[in-house]
Structures are given as C-alpha cells and as structure tokens.
A and B are shown apart, each in its own frame.
Chain A
Amino acid sequence: MAGLDRRRLGLLAVRYGLFLALGAWLVAMSLASEHFFTWLNFLNVARQAAPILVIAVGMTFVMATAGIDLSVGSLVALISVLIVTFFGLGLPTGVVIPAVLMLGLVSGLANGYFVQLGLPPFVVTLAMLTTLRGIAFVVSDGYATPVKDDLVLWLGRGKIGPVHTPIVLAVIVAIAGWLVLSKTRFGLYALAVGGREEAARAMGINVRGVKLAVYGAIGLLGALAGIVLTGRLGNGSPNAGIMLELEVIAATVLGGTSLFGGVATIAGTVAGALFINFVRNGLNLLGVNPFWVQVATGLILLLAVLLNTVVNRRVTEWARVLKTEEPESEAEP
C-alpha cells in the first residue's frame, strides 16, 4: 500500500507540478511584496499574459500534432504594421480588422501547407519567421506609426466592466480551445496525428487536413494577438513581438504539452502562461534588474522541457514498475 501511495504521489507531482509551483510562487510573493496580492496587480499580470495565452492556445494544438510554430512573433509584427498601413490608406475599421485576421489565417495555412507536404515544421516556420519580419520592415520602412482607431485601442487597453478587453478575449479563446481539444473529434484527431501519424491515417483520419487546420488556427490567433498588442502599444511597429514565440512555447511546454505530440492540455497552457508572467511580475516588484528577468524566462523554459521529457518519463516508468510489484506485496497478509 505504501508503494501505491508513493506511485500516486509521484504521478500527481508530475502531472500537477506546475499548478503547485504556481501556487507556491503566489504564496511566496504575497509574503515578499505587499503590492503582489492585489486585484490591480492580478489584472496587470492577466493583461500581460493575455496575448501570449491567445497564441499559446493555438500552439497547444500545433504541438499536439507534434509540430511547432516559430513564426508567431514575426506574424504579430507584420499584423501590427499592416494595421497602421491599412488605416493610412484610409480603409475603415470594418475592413482592416477582418483583412488582417484573414492575412493571419493565410500565413498560418501557408505554414500548414508546407508542413503537410512533409517538411519539418521547425524549418518551415523558421523560414516564415524571418520572411514575415522582413516584410514587416519593408512595409513600414522600419518606422513605428501611431494607431488612433478606437476599436483597436479598445481591444488593446479597453475594459468590459471591471476587466480589460484582452483578458476577456483570452478567456474566450481558452474556453473555446478547451472545448475543441477535449470534447470534439478535431481535438482528438490532432492528438492522434501527433501521437502516431501512421495509425491516424490507417483509421481514416485526414492527417493533412488536421495539420493545415492547426497551423491556420494559430495564424488566425496570432493575428488576433497582433491586433491586441498593437492596441496596447498604441502603434504599429515592425519590432513588435520579438521573442514572443519563445514565451508562447515556454507557456505551452510548461503546461505539460509534449514537444513530441500526442499529449496536450489547455488548462496546463493557461497555468503556464500565468506562471511565466507571475514570475516576471514578481521579480519586477522585487526590483530585480529587468535583464535578469529574461534569464529567468530562459531558465524556466529549460526546466519545463526537462520536466516535460526526462523527469516525466522516469517517473512514469518508476510508477509502472511499482505497479507491477504491487500484487506481490498485497499477497503477503
């Protein structure tokens, strides 16, 4: 029985480790800083995390299929630049917003098209990373331009009741993502494609269609996050979203989504995005040099991958060994 308890504890620690770490950090920071455990600060962190979470929901699906999308940060920059360019041409809001969302979708589908041909997602989206960023600089000539449109500003810094618009958007995207991933055929098929593509194909699943769809979805969500960030910054800049892809990937992997596909949860991704932003926020409140915050983010990503791969496998194997030993120990009395 002791073996059983140890096994359960081990598995629970691995599965819910992030939630425990998040909880521990919240308690520790609340004791360390009087400004931390306040409604205002929580809203602040949630607002920071919102655009990352919006894209990370898409990344959860992409990683479920054993893929990755490195181009999302550059996409955010391109969308940001295109918004101010389109407004500069005198286009109305009702055209600009749908147009940039559509372009995000197309950019994602382009990634998906090359991936479903069999090219490695890492290389395809790395190429797209530099391509999109380059286009953003060409279009903007390197300059940031202020945005004055009311809707874009509201999406970036407005409020719905007591809560900021980006938070509301992120909550809606996360709930939709959770429903699709855990309750629909599409979510299951994304996991099946990432788990073992050949088996998915043999069972009649449209593997190419699933891949196209997940990259299309993250493109659309990247464009949405791009609109939000443009509104928050108040300008369209080709330097927007630099290194954003790494924060998104860190949040997703930290949440327990497997880099090798087949395992993914939205709840984990939400906790991962919050964790990264709470750590950053806490270090800021403690007055730590902001450059160290970047280092902390990098180390957290490394730790997350370590937990995600080596530790997770070891604990699972250890638990299985304990499980097979159980009947003997139970037979003794």
Chain B
Amino acid sequence: MTVPVPLIEMRNISKSFGAVVALRQVSLAVAAGEVVGLVGDNAAGKSTLMKILSGVYTPDAGEIVLDGRPQAFATPMDARGAGIEMVYQDFALVPELSVTQNIFLGRELLQGGLRSRFIDKPRMRERATHLIERLGLRVPPVDTPVRAISGGQQQAVAIARATAFDARLVIMDEPTANLAAAAIGKVRAAIGRLKSHGVAVVVISHRIEDVLETADRAVVLKHGMVVGERRINETGGDELVHMIVAGQDPLRPAGGAAGAPPG
C-alpha cells in the first residue's frame, strides 16, 4: 500500500506493562491531510499506541519520526509542542472553567511588559470565539462554564482546543462514544474540515460507520499487532469487522502475518 510522504511515522513500536505485552512491533504512518481510522477490539492496543504518540506513555522500543526527524516525547506537552493533539474520549475538560479557559488550559496567552505574569483574558476570549467560528461549531458564549453546556458542545470545545495551536495531527479517541445522534454528524463534519486544512487525523473508534464515513484508510489492530489495513474505498464494513474479529487479513493467508494468534 502506498502512502504519500508521511507527516508522521511510528516505527516498530513495542510496549509492555509488567508481564502484559500491549504492543508488538507496530508501525503506522499518516500523511498530512489524511484521516486514518484505527479499529480493533478492546485491548487491541489502539489507545496505548495513541497514548505513545501523544506523549502519555514512552515506548519500550521503536521510534517516532515527524517530518523525517526522530522525536522523543516524554510528556503530553512535548507532543503538543510538536503539533500532536489529542481529543480525549471524556473530553478532558474542567467543568468549572469557562470555554475559553479550557481551550487555553496549559497554554494561556500572557500580557506584556510589567504585567507579563498576568493572563491576557480579552485576547484569549477573542481568539476562542474566532476559533469556534472557524470550525463552524455552535457553542454558547465563551465565558460559559463547561459544565453548563451539552455533551456535543463539550466535544466541540475539545476539538477547538486541539486545533487552537496549529495542530498537525489530531488524535480522536472514540469521538462519538458519548454523543447523541445529532452531534455525531457535527463531529464527522469537523473531521472533514480538519482534513481540508491539511491536518492529519487518527480516529480511534468502535463504530465502523464512523471510520467508513470519515477515514481514507483503516488500520486494524488485534492483540497489540497490526492485522492489516485497507483503503476505505476498497473495502466495506463486513470485511473490516471480519478482520477485527478474526485477527487475520483474508488477503494474507494465515502464517503470512508472523505470529498471528489463532482466532
């Protein structure tokens, strides 16, 4: 399978937690403006792989290459500094803080001169409003505390935060898991908008429809290994589900995938 010049490459990533092997020699490449769906059963290693990419975990072996340069992310801040953002399944928002405060949390804009230790609230408010408008998202006034807005709106705030600082890759962990049907369409549209801005997106999802709807390519994981991958326009839901359940690529007969456990 040919991938255009990759923006980011994860090469031969392995990770164990004690005796449990979470990932074995997993490689994944994503191009700018590409949407990759990462699918697989529970405990397939999807979240672990993305937590390594976003700096939450450090891999035991393997490397991450961004723009051809190897990276070492010790913390989520390192990964965010490199333009890799994560939209968490539970949104990771502070309910008591305002929409603006959440969008800029950890990266507040500061005033200049003698007041350089003070937060620049007007500028942040202005940028937050602009950001949400640019994403085409509808959110109440940016001074509203997050606990007072709906789940779909909270998702919108989380996406706005992930794209506030020139993100190059946005990881979305189960982006539709906590949403009502109406809000799911908006998330899918937001993914399309990111793609059109040249941002790479990795969507982790249990929902095959999400992946079929938004992704260019699906990568199937099982037991910490890549089972196979497909261009979305060359596959369908049945084939992906089969790969997820069987843990085998039907185009690659058993034995071809080294060490694939029996289904």
Nearest CB on A from B154, distance (A): 11
Q: Are A202 and B148 in contact (CB under 8 A)?
A: no
Tell me how far the C-beta of A204 lies from the nearest C-beta in chain B, rounded to whole angstroms.
Answer: 4
B94 at the interface (CB under 8 A from A): yes
Which stretch from B17-25, B74-82, B252-260 is at the chain A interface? B74-82
Which chain A residue lies CB-closest to B76? A204
- With an 8 A cutoff between CB atoms, is B208 at the interface? no
CA distance A320 to B105 in the complex (A): 25
* Bound Cα distance A320, B144 (Å): 12
A196 engages B118 (CB within 8 Å): no
Chain B minimum-CB-distance residue to A193: B94
Q: Which residue of chain A has its CB nearest to the CB of B93? A: A199
Also in contact, A202 and B92, with CB within 8 A (given A188-B108, A191-B97, A192-B97): yes
| Chain B: number of interface residues, binned into ranges | 20 to 34
Task: Assess whether B119 is interfacial by the CB under 8 Å rule.
Answer: yes
- Find chain A residues with CB under 8 A from B75 CB: 204
* Distance between Cα atoms of A263 and B96 in the complex (Å): 7
Q: Which residues of A contact B148 (CB under 8 A)?
A: 316, 320
Residues of chain B within 8 A (CB-CB) of A184 are 117-119
B118 touches A203 (CB 8 A): no
A205 interface residue per 8 A CB criterion = yes
The answer to whether B58 has its CB under 8 Å from any CB of chain A is: no
CA separation between A203 and B97, bound complex, in Å?
14
Contact B118 A204 (CB under 8 A): no
CA distance A194 to B148 in the complex (A): 17
Cβ–Cβ < 8 Å partners of B56 in chain A: 202
Report B61-78 CB contacts with A as 1/0, cut-off 8 Å: 000000000000001110
Additional A-B contacts beyond A188-B105, A262-B96 (6; CB < 8 A): A183-B119, A184-B117, A188-B108, A192-B105, A200-B105, A258-B96
27 contacts between A and B (CB under 8 A): A179-B118, A183-B118, A183-B119, A185-B110, A185-B117, A188-B108, A191-B96, A192-B94, A195-B94, A196-B92, A198-B92, A199-B91, A199-B94, A199-B105, A202-B56, A202-B88, A203-B105, A204-B76, A204-B77, A205-B106, A258-B96, A261-B96, A262-B94, A262-B97, A263-B96, A316-B148, A320-B148
Chain B residues within 8 Å of A, Cβ to Cβ:
56, 75-77, 80, 86, 88, 90-97, 101, 105-106, 108, 110, 117-119, 148
